[in-house]
Amino acid sequence: MSSVSEVPRALLTQGYVRLPSRLPEDGCRRVEAAFFQAFAGNAAAQRSGELVFREALEICPEAPSVVFSSDVLQAVRAYLGDEIRIEAFAAIVSSPRRGFMAWHAHVGGVDQSRVRRDGEPPRTGPRRVMIMAYPAGCSEGLGPLLVSPRAFDDALEMPHAPKQVEWPSAVEIQAPPGGVVICDEATFHAVRPQTTDRPRLVFGAYMIRADVRSVAGPDPSVLRFRTEDAEIQRLLGS
């Protein structure tokens, strides 16, 4: 993606956009090392093979800089409008040789369990994005991201079986260290199996229009944010 001005059209017509890395490699390595250390020290995570860190700032204060860079925020505002906020934020570490992550979307964000149960009213415009940021990149061996392109007005129903790895429409996304992928909340995506001998770290965040309110209330990950960054405070509604 060469220009922020191209973001809205890309998200409206294909449901995703990839942003180039703007982060220094040493910063990415520091962030990754902090979470890998926390993952290695968690016995339950070693058994399950994956751990979601909702207390990301407590583990690594640099973590938000990987996700909420000026380029990312400009892109999100170009799609959702100037007034946006963070709905949820977490780091996910998975162990080497993690298997295929089935196809899914994030309609409803923190309310997605309710949406799956009760359904969702017709969408009248963009209201939420999912941000995925990769400190070590997203490439062969680390579990490349699979995305099924969709236009904004396409049906919300899943077009194929969730555990079917190769959807006919699938596009494989690879990103460099520090790379970011932004998807509309309704864009189906999956992750290929890992084949390396190292863990994988990805940051995930929901960002929403400031006028969108969730039934579930504030996500615990947002309530745990402690930061002196004025921009992040504003995005949290503080």
What would the pLDDT profile of 22-39 be if each residue is shown by its tens digit? 777 788 889 999 999 999
* Sheet containing 145-147, strands listed edge to edge, beginning at the edge strand earlier in sequence: 101-104, 189-191, 145-147, 171-173
Q: How many CA atoms does the CB half-sphere of 237 hold within 13 Å?
A: 16
DSSP secondary structure letter of residue 65 = H
Alpha helices in 107-188 (DSSP H): 112-118
Phi, psi of 171 (to 5 degrees): -120, 130
CATH topology for the 4-236 domain: Jelly Rolls (2.60.120)
pTM score, whole prediction = 0.93
Domain boundaries, the chain: 4-236
First to last CA, the chain: 32
Q: Which residues contact 75 (CB under 8 A, 6 or more apart)?
A: 1, 4, 7, 17, 19, 182
Q: Which two tokens stand for residue 236?
A: 């949290």
Please give the Cα distance from 204 to 194 (Å, whole number): 18
> What separation in angstroms does the CA of 125 have from each of 81, 109, 153, 212?
11, 15, 9, 12
Q: How far apart are CA 38 and CA 232, in angstroms?
A: 24
pLDDT digits (tens, 9 = 90+) for 73-83: 999 999 999 99
Which amino acid, residue 233?
Q
Per-residue pLDDT of the chain (238 residues; tens, 9 = 90+): 557 889 999 999 999 999 877 777 788 889 999 999 999 888 888 788 888 998 888 888 888 888 888 899 999 999 999 999 999 999 999 988 788 999 999 999 998 888 877 777 778 899 999 999 999 888 888 889 999 999 999 999 999 999 999 999 999 998 888 889 999 999 999 999 988 888 899 999 999 999 998 887 778 888 877 777 788 888 887 6
3-state helix, strand, coil in the chain (%, to 5): 30, 25, 45
